[in-house]
Structure 1
């Protein structure tokens, strides 16, 4: 996977930064991802997960029901920020002027993408293979040979902006065959605002798009450790990861890829058998509010509240959003011919994100209520049907029908799920109110700081 090389190059730049630049990356919540040890790729696990991906539901369809990576998973595994503003702004048909203005680099006129080599050389990166007997630290030190800005100032801002373009375009949001993207440049114009965006949500949207790519594509680009560690964490019986460093955070630092010397085809067969016969109690399907994930021209649903067969709830018809219905943008960056304001085009989805999924929580509660009502009606119908034979069953010492018993259990579980959603909705309302109070305090504090700076100047 191409990200293995990109990871080394990006990490070499980060390590070459002076302490104050690393602190700025930490404030943006990007620092923890560089503490993750470089992990071996597990192509068999990646292909097995791809085969289980349900593109329509944006979730893994396993024999026990749907499972899906959540925002909590992104935060715990990678350390990326999952709360804050949606990663949404303008996209442009041409980034030449913006790239030249913000990066001070020549831009090829035949493309709206920044040449990768020029960007790397501006950061002092020179690709080269690892020498025999060379340690990882020596290799990283040799990659970054030129000194970067050693104190805050315009040159330091330029270095950081170039680094973020490399990090976002070549590692975190990398796609197959693309040079370094400039699509995130509008968000990097004000470096002080970068840390306020929910990059983890954009990262998850990008993961979903990568999984929904052509079925002929077996590998994945981008930050591959996320899905590997997600499987190690939630599907431990597959035995693909070795827990070698318990207690480390982000938790991606805890695992190493299990070495498997068998042929890839044999590994895939064994993995599929393990998934098909996975222990029932080990699976942990997710429930919660549904929100929209934003990454500029990617706006994708995170459907967390999916009915689970593993819980015994009846599988109802689930209507998933489609691209045309919600005017969802395409995932292609090239070929955009108009300046697009995604805050306007995806206004409904962004408002949903700002409400922390509160609107979807209401919809989930209403859906649970409808399902509970349907199950109760079905239970009453079964009871009525069996009333005629009740006396004979009782005289013979019989018990209620198996169907009635199952429906009774399903009703109880549906009622419990409904109560959980009602509690979750109240918690979301309180959390939203608290978040608004904190945001008001932050805005007031920023205003006081700016006033103090103006008076001092």
Structure 2
């Protein structure tokens, strides 16, 4: 419920902004998020997926192989920018002076947290709770109206202050939210120059945050960050789980197309059903046939697709092991192997545990350079070509078997017709009609069995 309320609160401020402020948010690459309809959280699906996450491999380990949310998934599902500078820079043990200067809000000494209530009140949201009997739309409309009265209507210093406060709320309570209600100041240094905000790869940082969140205890029934991403990812890659409704086909980004399906069964019953379904699920490529129309962010994002690369979200520096997923190619594996963890160790996920000023562009220099080179391309051309050749061969064999069955059936019908009419052509060939019929019938059964095996092989490939 907290995630849904946070979404409404952040969306209310965005809608309350005057047009010039909304245009600035759009230019930063965050506009598509606010076109996604509010979605119901699905704790059963989240928990089922989390139980398959291996934090060392940063991948889902399924019986058929590895699956990994990728940069292409982030780009297509959310519309966030995955290109640009790595989200990296300085982190500090105390943000008191910076928060006073950039937000005009108090932050306690030796703290990295901005008080959530004063932050919301600075944007005009003094009471964000729902009134009894109030619908979500009525709640959103009321918050939007009261926020609009407090926001600057013209460009200037106050408008910049409003925008930074909004971005801290958006990043800390929605995009990079944690399970608690805290709002971190960690991204505040990157918001000092508002003209530079759109140059960062916020979508890649979001994916790093998502990986870190999935590595938490599997007993948790929620995930940090923008929860619709993982749900829509499952709707696309594991559609037979039946957890989403495609209510608005064709809209982009893809998250706009989906609603969470309501399931009234007990959480334990939902989990049991999902775990069984996941165990027997085949791998699918959900983007076959998808074009780039209406999605300009994909043009610059494409060079980052299909690459294993280090992801950066300041003090989170995590690998995207895309080669694991590509190597599996959806084929069933008898043994699931995990890679040895890279020697570079990320710090604790507790941001408050960092007591020194840290320059992440220096500390993670090698990983920053890796990002700037766009990582390493995942070369599976040979494997794909081999699989395509096998598939082509299987199709040819299946078609040949189909023709053979048709010929055998035709010959069997001819022999049966000849026997019924008293013809002696088969006898003249040296055999009785009944014996020849039996041999042909047996050949038809064997050919049909072979065809079934070929069809199964074709489906597997």
TM-score (norm 1): 0.75
Local SS of the residue matching 1:311: coil
Does structure 2 retain, via aligned residues, the 8 Å contact 1:94–1:112?
yes
What is the rounded CA distance, in whole Å, between the counterparts of 1:170 and 1:103 in structure 2?
16
What is the rounded CA distance, in whole Å, between the counterparts of 2:105 and 2:283 in structure 1?
55
Does structure 2 retain, via aligned residues, the 8 Å contact 1:81–1:199?
yes
Local SS of the residue matching 1:290: strand
Q: Does 1:308 align with 2:331?
A: no
CA deviations on 1:335-379 (whole Å, 9 max, x unpaired) are 21111110011111111100111xx33xx559989xx9xxxxxxx
Local SS of the residue matching 1:267: helix
The answer for the alignment partner of 1:321 in structure 2 is 341
What is the rounded CA distance, in whole Å, between the counterparts of 2:55 and 2:382 in structure 1?
24
The answer for the alignment partner of 1:51 in structure 2 is 51
Q: Choose the corresponding residue for 1:177, options 163, 167, 180.
A: 180
- How much does 1:222 deviate? 2.2
* Bigger Rg over Cα: 2
What stretches of structure 1 of length at least 5 have no aligned partner?
373-408, 414-457
CA deviations on 1:183-208 (whole Å, 9 max, x unpaired) are 11110000000000000000000000
The answer for the alignment partner of 1:264 in structure 2 is 267
Local SS of the residue matching 1:60: strand
The answer for the alignment partner of 2:191 in structure 1 is 188
Q: 1:241 to 1:150 in 2, by over 3 A?
A: same
Local SS of the residue matching 2:50: helix
Does structure 2 retain, via aligned residues, the 8 Å contact 1:290–1:305?
yes
Local SS of the residue matching 2:114: coil
Local SS of the residue matching 1:167: helix
Local SS of the residue matching 2:113: coil
The answer for the alignment partner of 2:430 in structure 1 is none
What is the rounded CA distance, in whole Å, between the counterparts of 2:106 and 2:336 in structure 1?
55
The answer for the alignment partner of 2:36 in structure 1 is 36
Q: 1:344 to 1:337 in 2, by over 3 A?
A: same
The answer for the alignment partner of 2:115 in structure 1 is 115
CA deviations on 1:288-325 (whole Å, 9 max, x unpaired) are 32000000000000000013174378979553324xx2
- How much does 1:332 deviate? 1.5
What is the rounded CA distance, in whole Å, between the counterparts of 1:123 and 1:18 in structure 2?
13
Q: 1:96 to 1:262 in 2, by over 3 A?
A: same
Q: Which moved more, 1:187-196 or 1:2-11?
A: 2-11
Q: Choose the corresponding residue for 1:336, options 354, 359, 369.
A: 354
What is the rounded CA distance, in whole Å, between the counterparts of 2:274 and 2:336 in structure 1?
29
Q: 1:197 to 1:367 in 2, by over 3 A?
A: same
Q: 1:17 to 1:283 in 2, by over 3 A?
A: closer
Q: Displaced runs of 4+ in structure 1, greater than 6 A?
A: 283-287, 312-316, 366-369
What is the rounded CA distance, in whole Å, between the counterparts of 2:353 and 2:279 in structure 1?
41
The count of corresponding residues between Structure 1 and Structure 2 is 365
1:59-70 paired onto structure 2 within 5 Å: 59-70=59-70
What is the rounded CA distance, in whole Å, between the counterparts of 2:379 and 2:265 in structure 1?
47
Q: 1:176 to 1:133 in 2, by over 3 A?
A: closer
Q: 1:351 to 1:367 in 2, by over 3 A?
A: farther
Local SS of the residue matching 1:38: coil
1:221-236 paired onto structure 2 within 5 Å: 221-236=224-239
What is the rounded CA distance, in whole Å, between the counterparts of 2:278 and 2:285 in structure 1?
10
What stretches of structure 2 of length at least 5 have no aligned partner?
289-304, 387-456
Local SS of the residue matching 2:310: strand
Does structure 2 retain, via aligned residues, the 8 Å contact 1:2–1:221?
no
The answer for the alignment partner of 1:294 in structure 2 is 312
What is the rounded CA distance, in whole Å, between the counterparts of 1:165 and 1:349 in structure 2?
26
What is the rounded CA distance, in whole Å, between the counterparts of 2:336 and 2:132 in structure 1?
59
Does structure 2 retain, via aligned residues, the 8 Å contact 1:248–1:254?
yes
What is the rounded CA distance, in whole Å, between the counterparts of 2:44 and 2:136 in structure 1?
26
CA deviations on 1:142-200 (whole Å, 9 max, x unpaired) are 22413311111111000000000000011111112252111111100000000000000
Does structure 1 retain, via aligned residues, the 8 Å contact 2:206–2:225?
no
- How much does 1:248 deviate? 0.9
- How much does 1:132 deviate? 4.8
